Structure 1
Amino acid sequence: MDVLSLLGIILAFAAIVGGNLLEGGALGSLFNGPAALIVIGGTLAATILQTSWPILKRAAAQARWVFVPPYINVQDGIDKIVDWSLLARKEGLLGLERLSDNEPEPFARKGLQLLVDGAEKETIRSIMEVDLDCREQRNLDSARVFEAMGGYSPTIGIIGAVMGLIQVMTNLEDPDSLGTGIATAFVATIYGVALANLLFFPVASKLRGLVKERSMYEEMIIEGLVAIAEGENPKSTELRLQGFLQ
């Protein structure tokens, strides 16, 4: 669990609610069903319209990375690659076959299988980089979904505010209701701007960072596989891969 992500969301919305209370506003004034329906529904509708189903489905699945990011430990990865290198020097590349069958990471398992099959280092690098680039692009497309939502929600919030003001203007004969009506209309703007800047854009940035971190880890795996294919000394391989440590 990423505690910082959870803490960030709690602090963001607590700041809005707390600031409203300190200014003397009522808590109930921030809650408006029609405004929420317009902003959330309109934002989702616009995002669905511009996004294909596979990307939308992937984005929904990867949203959990904000709170439960995929496990990545560069040092563990280096240690694992060094163990592969030692085994390859002792038993040859065919000795890695049993490891490839038990490797839990699909990306690393694919690379090990290429080594076992006797692929040249250029072939290994080419195949693995295509895999990495395609996965990275798909993951970045997921982040762009949340960026799009962050772009749409403030505009939808303004639409909601204008719609609310239209309703106010149609009831000018009732002066007592004008203040309440105008305040309610602008709640939609608050929803739109707050969702964009406190949720959608931060989530997109978080996902981008995680994708970059994952891609760097997989680049390290590729370098390790190529080093093994070259027959490089395990110690030299370890020193080379330590450059990926942050």
Structure 2
Amino acid sequence: MDLSTTLGIIGGIGALLLGFILEKGSPGALLQLSASIIVFGGTIGAVVASFPLSELKKAPQWFKIAFGNQSFGSAEAYETLIRFAEKARREGLLSLEQELEVVTDQFTRQGMQLVIDGTDPEITREILESYIAVLRKRHKVGIHVFEAAGGYAPTMGIIGTVMGLVHVLGNLSDPSALSSSIAAAFIATLYGVSSANLVWLPIATKLKIKDNFEVAAMEMILDGILSIQAGENPSILKEKLKTHLGNIPEPQAKGEEAGAGRAAMGEVQ
């Protein structure tokens, strides 16, 4: 589990509640079913109207990515590329064909197959860069969905508040209940603004960051593949790849295969 996402959202909501309690407020006063239906139902409706259902079906996977740990396979790819570079230097590029059978990362395997097949280096670069570009486009859909939700939620909150005030002003026969009714009407605005800034937009940002990490891992692999194709010294390749590794974090979870995170994000976004 990605603790920063979970702890950040829970901590943010907890801070709001704590501050409200310190101001002598009752947490129960913040629970308004009608406001939650207007804000969350309206936000979901606006998002559904904005994106194809074929893409929205991937929402559970987007949440899984935001709240889970993914391996971007950078450490495994580093070791694989160095091993390939050393063997290619000793035995030639064709000797790597059998090695590809044990490579679990599809991007690495496809790139090295192009090299073994004798593809022109520029064409190899273009093909692999096109894979990265397509992946980024898929990622952007999930990011845009949560960014859209973060934009719609505050507006839905204002709409809920206006609807509540309309109801209040239409029932002025009981002045004693006026203050509590107005307070309840503003709960919708609270729901809209807080959900946007504590849930939807942080998730969009986390997906964007993980997209950058995944692309950085693929760019490292691309750089390594082209270096192997050019016949560069393995020692030079090591130093070149190390400059990439510092920008790609590895998860704490154990037992994840190289490229597992890339496969997960690439398929659902």
Q: TM-score, normalised by structure 2?
A: 0.86
8 Å CA contact 1:164, 1:182 repeated in 2: yes
Q: Distance in 1 between matches of 2:235 and 2:62?
A: 37
Tell me the equivalent position of 1:81: 81
Tell me the equivalent position of 1:16: 16
Tell me the equivalent position of 1:187: 187
Tell me the equivalent position of 2:196: 196
Stretches of structure 1 lacking an aligned partner (at least 5 in a row): none
1:73-102 deviation digits (Å, cap 9, x = unpaired): 534432221011112223322322233222
Tell me the equivalent position of 2:90: 90
1:122-150 deviation digits (Å, cap 9, x = unpaired): 12111000000110121022111111110
Tell me the equivalent position of 1:119: 119
Residue range with higher mean Cα deviation, 33-42 or 235-244: 235-244
Tell me the equivalent position of 2:178: 178
1:165-219 deviation digits (Å, cap 9, x = unpaired): 1111121102222122111111110000001111111111111111011111101
Read off the aligned partner of 1:36 and give its amino acid letter.
Answer: S
Structure 2 counterpart SS, 1:219 = helix
Tell me the equivalent position of 2:227: 227
Residue range with higher mean Cα deviation, 83-92 or 210-219: 83-92
What does 1:1-246 correspond to in 2, within 5 Å? Answer: 1-72=1-72, 74-246=74-246
Q: Distance in 1 between matches of 2:35 and 2:208?
A: 30
Residue range with higher mean Cα deviation, 234-243 or 50-59: 50-59
Stretches of structure 2 lacking an aligned partner (at least 5 in a row): 247-269
Q: Distance in 2 between matches of 1:18 and 1:220?
A: 45
1 or 2, which has the higher helix percentage? 1
8 Å CA contact 1:69, 1:210 repeated in 2: no
8 Å CA contact 1:150, 1:196 repeated in 2: yes
8 Å CA contact 1:150, 1:197 repeated in 2: yes
Structure 2 counterpart SS, 1:55 = helix
Question: Would the alpha carbon gap of residues 57 and 100 (structure 1) be closer, same or farther in structure 2, given more than 3 Å must change?
Answer: farther
Read off the aligned partner of 1:11 and give its amino acid letter.
Answer: G
Question: Would the alpha carbon gap of residues 122 and 58 (structure 1) be closer, same or farther in structure 2, given more than 3 Å must change?
Answer: farther
Read off the aligned partner of 1:57 and give its amino acid letter.
Answer: K
Question: Would the alpha carbon gap of residues 97 and 60 (structure 1) be closer, same or farther in structure 2, given more than 3 Å must change?
Answer: same
Tell me the equivalent position of 2:254: none
Alpha-carbon distance, 1:64 to partner: 1.6
Q: Distance in 2 between matches of 1:230 and 1:202?
A: 42
Q: Distance in 2 between matches of 1:60 and 1:97?
A: 38
Q: Distance in 1 between matches of 2:164 and 2:9?
A: 28
Q: Distance in 1 between matches of 2:60 and 2:154?
A: 21
Residue range with higher mean Cα deviation, 183-192 or 86-95: 86-95
Q: How many residues were matched structurally?
A: 246
Q: Distance in 2 between matches of 1:99 and 1:35?
A: 59
Q: Distance in 1 between matches of 2:175 and 2:97?
A: 81
Structure 2 counterpart SS, 1:172 = coil
Structure 1 runs (4+) deviating above 6 angstroms are none
Read off the aligned partner of 2:50 and give its amino acid letter.
Answer: Q
Q: Distance in 2 between matches of 1:127 and 1:57?
A: 29
Task: Give the number of the structure with larger relative contact order, counting CA–CA contacts within 8 Å between residues 6 or more apart.
Answer: 2
Residue range with higher mean Cα deviation, 233-242 or 192-201: 233-242
Structure 1 counterpart SS, 2:186 = helix
8 Å CA contact 1:59, 1:143 repeated in 2: no
Q: TM-score, normalised by structure 1?
A: 0.94
